[in-house]
């Protein structure tokens, strides 16, 4: 015979205080576990959303970031002439020669400066990023010392509001607009005219070149043509893959730190669940003997007590996950280890994270409840009834 589920549920409901305390401990662990997964998912979503698979990003061979890269004007011209590059309706190559610089800005309410990326783009560079839309003001004019700022920069740094000016590279730069990067890393950048920024910083070479493929299958032929030309000492990657790689170091750091905290907290939660279940077994010795006398076999007793522990874990998991959902309203600003600049991203909850979180909470319930359940199942009928 199998013990009905209602019996399992009533036993947990009868012990409201211990059930609540144990579930709360598990819920805290689940909250931390879910927060780590959501943070990592938010970071990857931000970085992957920065690029598109149709775009290719080229940087100098041997470097990992655009900040470190240097591409000469001659090399950019060679890329521009390649047949794999898409052409606009006007016949212009859809390619953007860009430069990246880091400037220090004071975050609102703080005294210490933070590195912010200023990207010099061409008009074609704006067209190559359809996810970027202007939400306030206007776009910067070519040939002018003007900037537009991402929505995560606007209002969070001193001098980053429309109409305000920033002084760097011995120039005054006027903020003329705010853009929305669609949740990408562009939201944490400032954009201006590439030639003006190169003049101001006295740079001769570009940092990177972004180009749009004429066809989806043009990527491999493009790589072969680049490799065949000894003048092109550059590496090319699909833009989405490039930015995904940029998040790897920070993602690894978040995962390691989060997993260490989760393991430490989960040990305490498992011990708490085990204590709760051992206490339940000790208090219900006579009840266990009665169940055995009524014909319920050892596997049924084991399943019943293990079911209680699993249900306890599920309750804690649902509670922790419920509070974790509120993290989605929070935006984190941290240092990107690859570019040494500020990167803002939000917690992101996905169906996969929900499944992983609930599975983890039930795993804690299983580990914490297995030994107490095994002890209950091994009790002898005579000894159990005699203890009553």
pLDDT of residue 351: 92
Q: What are the CA-CA distances from residue 276 to residues 11, 374, 387 (Å)?
A: 12, 14, 20
Which pair of structure tokens corresponds to residue 68? 């470190």
Q: What percent of the chain has pLDDT over 90?
A: 32
* Domain range summary for the chain, segments of one domain joined by +: 5-48+248-386, 62-232
Question: With 90 as the cut, is the pLDDT of residue 339 above it?
Answer: no
Distance, in Å, from the CA atom of 182 to the CA atom of 55, rounded to the nearest integer, reads 17
Most confident range (mean pLDDT) of 10-14, 105-109, 333-337 is: 105-109
Higher pLDDT, residue 85 or 292 = 85
Q: What is the pLDDT of residues 9-53, one digit of tens each?
A: 666 666 667 767 777 888 888 898 888 888 888 887 777 666 677
Distance, in Å, from the CA atom of 296 to the CA atom of 294, rounded to the nearest integer, reads 6
Q: 91-100, 214-223, 267-276, 283-292: which has the minimum mean pLDDT? A: 283-292
Q: What is the pLDDT of residues 273-307, one digit of tens each?
A: 777 777 766 666 666 666 666 666 777 777 777 77
pLDDT of residue 335: 66
Name 232's Cβ contacts closer than 8 Å, sequence gap at least 6.
75, 78, 79, 226
pLDDT of residue 209: 94
pLDDT of residue 10: 66
Q: Are strands 171-180 and 341-346 parallel, antiparallel or unpaired?
A: unpaired
Q: What is the pLDDT of residues 225-270, one digit of tens each?
A: 999 989 999 999 988 888 877 777 777 777 787 778 888 878 877 7
Q: Mean pLDDT over residues 57-80, rounded?
A: 91
């Amino acid at each position: 015979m199998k013990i009905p589920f209602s019996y399992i549920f009533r036993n947990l409901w009868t012990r409201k205080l211990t059930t609540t305390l144990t579930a709360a401990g598990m819920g805290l662990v689940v909250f931390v576990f879910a927060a780590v997964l959501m943070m990592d998912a938010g970071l990857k979503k931000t970085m992957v959303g920065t690029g598109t698979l149709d775009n290719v990003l080229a940087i100098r061979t041997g470097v990992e970031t655009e900040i470190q890269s240097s591409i000469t004007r001659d090399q950019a011209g060679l890329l521009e002439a390649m047949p794999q590059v898409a052409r606009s309706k006007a016949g212009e190559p859809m390619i953007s020669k860009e430069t990246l610089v880091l400037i220090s800005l004071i975050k609102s309410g703080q005294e210490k400066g933070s590195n912010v990326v200023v990207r010099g783009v061409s008009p074609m560079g704006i067209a190559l990023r359809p996810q970027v839309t202007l939400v306030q003001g206007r776009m910067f004019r070519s040939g002018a010392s003007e900037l537009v700022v991402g929505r995560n920069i606007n209002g969070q740094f001193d001098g980053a509001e429309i109409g305000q000016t920033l002084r760097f590279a011995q120039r005054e730069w006027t903020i003329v607009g705010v853009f929305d990067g669609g949740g990408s890393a562009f939201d944490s950048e400032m954009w201006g005219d590439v030639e003006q920024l190169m003049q101001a910083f006295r740079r001769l070479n570009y940092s990177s070149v972004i180009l749009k493929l004429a066809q989806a299958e043009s990527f491999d032929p493009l790589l072969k043509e680049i490799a065949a030309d000894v003048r092109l000492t550059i590496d090319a990657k699909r833009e989405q893959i490039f930015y995904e790689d940029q998040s790897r170091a920070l993602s690894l750091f978040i995962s390691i730190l989060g997993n260490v905290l989760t393991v430490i907290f989960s040990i305490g939660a498992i011990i708490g669940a085990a204590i709760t279940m051992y206490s339940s077994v000790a208090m219900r010795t006579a009840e266990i003997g009665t169940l055995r006398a009524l014909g319920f076999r050892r596997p049924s007793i084991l399943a019943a007590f293990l079911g209680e522990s699993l249900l306890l874990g599920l309750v804690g998991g649902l509670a922790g996950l419920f509070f974790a959902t509120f993290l989605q309203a929070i935006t984190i600003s941290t240092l990107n280890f690859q570019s040494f600049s500020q990167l803002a991203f939000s917690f992101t909850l996905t169906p996969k994270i929900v499944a992983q979180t609930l599975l983890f909470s039930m795993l804690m319930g299983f580990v914490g409840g297995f030994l107490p359940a095994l002890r209950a199942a091994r009790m002898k009928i005579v000894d159990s009834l005699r203890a009553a």
